Amino acid sequence: MKVKELMADNPIAIGPETPLKDVAAILVEHRISGLPVISEQRTVLGVVSEADILIKEQGPEPRRKGLAGWLLTGDLPERGKLAARKSGEAMTSPAITIGPNAHVAEAARVMTEHGIKRLPVVNAEGRLVGILTRSDLVRAFARPDEEIEREIREDVVRRTLWLDGQELNVRVQRGDVMLSGELERRTDVALLPRLVARVPGVVSVNTVLTWRWDDRSVERRTRS
């Protein structure tokens, strides 16, 4: 499954001149945690989030005097956000983004690694085309078994591995996948479970697979 199949394709976005009070009102009204900040050409300049506004809300910390105070507080990025009045001054930049054709497993990895809840989706020119949230990924994970089985057969088996799948049995029960049968090549038997594990909603993958042609042994002989 690709990002473009899950993303919201009409995302709310703001310009860099939007007052922070208006940003906060939009977040509250739409019950979202962040907003992409875009230029007039819809290129993503950054993201302003609840965390950015909280920096403003907490106010400046008491400044310690002398060299120790300078070393301890330094010239942190948050210091500039404390004085921010507009979204362009408070936003986190550059924004972490993803493309519409990326796999949702990649989106999940990016969100987890960077601890973010929303990913602006941009095209090849860097223009905003959608928003993907953690809720979108969770919704995909909660799909019924029938949808998961259909994606395995159509996207993984046929479109990715170019297999007819006539001798492959796919059974999905509460996200647990059982693959059995016979495939043409040994490399397909090794690759199929890894690809199936990346399908949203798959909890585990178990296999009882055989192959007709051991292409790995041919590869080893060729290298020798």
User: What is the reported pLDDT for 4?
Assistant: 93
Angle, alpha carbons 137-204-97 (nearest 5°): 25
Peptide bond just before 77 cis, omega within 30 deg: no
Q: Are 168 and 185 in contact (CB under 8 A)?
A: no
User: What is the reported pLDDT for 70?
Assistant: 44
Q: Are 37 and 14 in contact (CB under 8 A)?
A: yes
pLDDT tens digits, residue range 175-204?
999 999 999 999 999 999 999 999 999 999
Domain ranges of the chain: 3-140, 145-223
Burial category of 185 from C-beta neighbours within 10 Å (exposed 0-12, middle 13-18, buried 19 and up): middle
What mean pLDDT is predicted for residues 18-26?
A: 92
pLDDT, greater one: 78 or 125? 125
User: What is the reported pLDDT for 219?
Assistant: 59
Angle, alpha carbons 40-43-47 (nearest 5°): 105
What mean pLDDT is predicted for residues 139-144?
A: 90
Percent of the chain with pLDDT over 70: 85
3-140 CATH, one of 3.20.20.150, 1.10.10.10, 3.10.580.10, 3.40.50.300: 3.10.580.10
The highest-level CATH class for domain 145-223 is alpha beta
pLDDT tens digits, residue range 75-102?
455 666 777 778 888 888 899 999 999 9
